[in-house]
Structure 1
C-alpha cells in the first residue's frame, strides 16, 4: 500500500535525513497515544502513518472500567469525554431475563474518533508524517528509516505500532506465531427503532443462549450516530450464519438471541455491517536493537474478552513514561535496554491475562461438556443472586468487597 500522495510532498532521497528521538510507525490508537505521551514530555517524536485521517474501521468502540483510570493517568480523560457518549448503567440479560445491572462510567465512540482524539493531543501537528515506511535499518545506536516518498529519517528508538500488519517486522526477522486461527468473529453495526422512539435502556448486554450458536454476547451502547451493536462469536468464520448476519442482520440476530425481541421491538440496522475475524497470535524474534513493538504488533487479543485496550494502555504507559524516557538519557539503544520493556511485570501480566481471558470466554461460550455446562450455569446464577442481594441491601456487597481487600 502506498501513502496518500495528495497530502505527502515527495522529498528527494538524497536529502539529509531528519533526526528525532523516537519514530513511531503506525498511527492507530497505540501509536497515536504513544506519540502524544512522549511529545508532551518534551521528546522529539515523529508519528508516521499513510493516512492523514484515520478511516472508519471496526475496532475499539467503547471504553470503561479500569481503562478509564489509565486514560486519566496518561492525561487523555478530558479528550475522551469531549468526543464520546457517556453511559453508566448496563442491563445484562440472558434468555430474555435480567441477570444483573452493571453500574459504572463508560463511553461509546467510533474508533476513528478515538484515534483523532489521541492525535489531537500531540502538541505539534507537524509531528505526523503522512507517508509509508518501506525499510528500517536498526543498530544499537541510531535507527535508519526509509519512506515511500524518498524521505529518510533517523531515530534513536523506533516503535512499531503497526497492528497485525507485519511486513516491516518480517523484514527485520520478526515473525508472528498463530496460537489460534480464526479464534473469534466480531460484528459491528448501528441500530434504531423504526418508529424513531428511543430504546427503553441506556445500554444492554445480551448473552448467548445455546452453545451450538457460538454467541458470546451482544453489547448495545450509545454513540453519537445512535445505538451501537457489537456482536462477539466463537464460530467458524466460513459458517453460513456469518453471511446471514451481513445480509439479513435483524432476522438473524433475533434467531440467535430470541430473548432480545422484547427489548428491541421493531428495529433496523442503519449503517454498514462490519465484521472482523481475529487470530490469536504473538511475535517471535522481536528482541532487537533499537526497535520495540507495542499493542497488536506484539500480541493480538480476543475482542470478546475486552482486554485489548487494557493491554495497549499498559504498553503505552510502561514504555512511554518509564522506559523510553530513561533510555534516551544515556547513549545507545541496544537489546539490553529494549529487553527491560518486554520483561516488565505489568506488561507480562497484562499479556498473560489477555490470553487467559480469550480462552475462558471461548470455553464459557462454546464448551458443551458437563463440567463447563455446570460452570456456565453457576456463573450466571452467581451474578443473578449477587444482583438480588444488592437490590435488597444496596451497598452491602461493595462494603464486603472493600473489607476483603483491606
Structure 2
C-alpha cells in the first residue's frame, strides 16, 4: 500500500492543476489517471477575458502554460457587420495541449500513476483507493476530479441533481478559407441573427496553423438540425447565419465535427468525509456562457491555497472539515454566478419577449459604440465578474468578449 496526504483521481485540467500547485507547495500528492499523455478531447479550446486569465495566473503555472497558446486580436460582428476589433487576452489552445502543458508543470515530487481508480472507501481518518493495476493507495484526502465519470460517486452514494438537461450543445470543427490562403480576420466572434436559430454565437480562432470554430446551440440532442449539420455542414451553417460570410468570406468545414450535449447538474457530496469534488465532478457549467474554466481555477485555487493546508494542520478529515470548502464564499459566489449566467445567456439568445429583445439590441448597440470609440482611444470594456464588481480596461488592454468552450463533461 502506498501512503500519501492527497490522492487526486483524474488528470484533466482541474486535477493536473491541483497536482502542480500541491507539488509546488511540497504537499505529499499522488495523481491517478489512466493516460500518461492526455488524449484528444473536445472540451476547453481557449481561455479568454482578463478575469479568467488572471484566475489562471493565480495558480502559479498559468504564465508557463499560456506560452504554448496562440494569441489573437478578436473581431466582434453581428448582422454581417463588423462592430469592434478588440485587443484581446484570448489564448487559443486545444484541451489536450492545455492539460499536457499543465502536466509539464507538475514537480517531480508528485507521483503519477497510470491506472484507473476502480473502488474507493472513505472515513474520517484515511481513505482507501484500489487501482486497476491492483495497487492500493491510502490517503488522508481524496480529490475527485474525474469529470462525468460516475462509477466512484455511485459507490459512495453521492446523488446527482440535474438542473437543466441538455442545456446547450457545443460543436467544434476546423474551417478553411475557400479559394484563398487565409482569412482576413485574426479571430472572430459572430453573434446570432435571429432567436429562432437558437444560436448564441460562433467563434473562430487560430490554434497554431489551424482556424478552429466553436459553435453553440440551444437544441435537443435529437433535433434534425444536428443531423443536417453533420450531412452538409457548410450549407447548414450558412442557412442559420446567412450574413456570416460577409465577414469571413467563403469557407469550407474540414475534418471531423465534434458535438457535445451539456447537462447542468450538481453532485451532493455534503457530509462525505475524506473526499472533495472539484470542477465538473462537483457541478457543470454551460460552455456557451464561458464560465467553466473560471469554476475550475476558483475551485483549485481555494482548495490548494486555503483549505488543504488548513485541513492538514490538524488530525482527521471528517465531513465538517470538507464542508468548509463547499461553503467557501468565493467558491459559492462563482458557482452561483456561473449558473445564473448559463440561464441568462440562453434567454438573451432565444427568448422573444420585449425585455429580452431589448436586451439583445442593447448589447448590439454597446458593441457598436465601443467599436466607434476605440479608434479615438475612448473605448472602455467592462467585464463583470462573479463578485458583482467589474474590471475595466482601456482600449489598449481591453479583454475579449468571446467565451471559452468550458469543460462540461
TM-score, normalised via structure 2 length: 0.90
Give aligned pairs, total.
385
Distance 2:150 2:109 in 1: 27
Q: Paired residue for 1:203?
A: 187
Q: How does 1:373-384 map to 2 (within 5 A)?
A: 373-384=357-368
Q: 1:232 to 1:117 in 2, by over 3 A?
A: same
Q: Where does the alignment leave 5 or more consecutive residues of structure 2 unmatched?
A: 383-390, 395-409
**Does structure 1 residue 249 correspond to structure 2 residue 233?**
yes
Distance 1:149 1:396 in 2: 58
Q: Paired residue for 1:386?
A: 370
Shift in Å, 1:104: 2.3
Indicate which of 347, 353, 356 corresponds to 2:331: 347
Indicate which of 78, 87, 99 corresponds to 2:63: 78
Q: How does 1:201-350 map to 2 (within 5 A)?
A: 201-350=185-334
**Does structure 1 residue 114 correspond to structure 2 residue 98?**
yes
Contact 1:137–1:145 (Cα < 8 Å) also in 2: yes
Shift in Å, 1:398: 6.7
1:219-253 superposed Cα distances (whole Å, 9 cap, x missing partner): 01110141110001111221111112222211111
* Runs of 4 or more consecutive aligned structure 1 residues displaced over 4 Å after TM superposition: 398-403
Q: Paired residue for 2:178?
A: 194
- Is the helix fraction higher in 1 or 2? 1
Q: How does 1:27-38 map to 2 (within 5 A)?
A: 27-38=11-22
Distance 1:379 1:145 in 2: 50
Shift in Å, 1:64: 2.1
**Does structure 1 residue 46 correspond to structure 2 residue 27?**
no
Q: 1:35 to 1:200 in 2, by over 3 A?
A: same
Distance 2:102 2:307 in 1: 21
Distance 1:139 1:47 in 2: 20
Q: Cα RMSD over matched residues?
A: 1.9
Distance 1:401 1:53 in 2: 39
Q: Paired residue for 1:63?
A: 47
Contact 2:82–2:247 (Cα < 8 Å) also in 1: no
1:14-73 superposed Cα distances (whole Å, 9 cap, x missing partner): xxx100110000111110101110011101111111122212111001112212112222
Shift in Å, 1:80: 2.1
Q: How does 1:4-15 map to 2 (within 5 A)?
A: none
Q: How does 1:353-364 map to 2 (within 5 A)?
A: 353-364=337-348
Distance 1:80 1:269 in 2: 29
Q: How does 1:89-100 map to 2 (within 5 A)?
A: 89-100=73-84
**Does structure 1 residue 395 correspond to structure 2 residue 396?**
no
Shift in Å, 1:190: 1.1
Q: 1:390 to 1:334 in 2, by over 3 A?
A: same
Shift in Å, 1:196: 4.7
TM-score, normalised via structure 1 length: 0.91
Q: Which has the higher contact order (CA 8 A, sep 6+)?
A: 2
Larger Rg, first or second structure (1 or 2): 1
Q: Paired residue for 1:11?
A: none
1:137-166 superposed Cα distances (whole Å, 9 cap, x missing partner): 111111111111111000000000011212
Distance 2:195 2:324 in 1: 42
Distance 1:378 1:316 in 2: 36
1:184-203 superposed Cα distances (whole Å, 9 cap, x missing partner): 01101111113351110110
Indicate which of 124, 129, 133 corresponds to 1:149: 133
Q: Where does the alignment leave 5 or more consecutive residues of structure 1 unmatched?
A: 1-16
Please identify, of 255-264 and 306-315, the stretch whose mean Cα deviation from structure 2 is larger: 255-264
Q: 1:293 to 1:126 in 2, by over 3 A?
A: closer
Q: Paired residue for 2:407?
A: none
Shift in Å, 1:175: 1.3
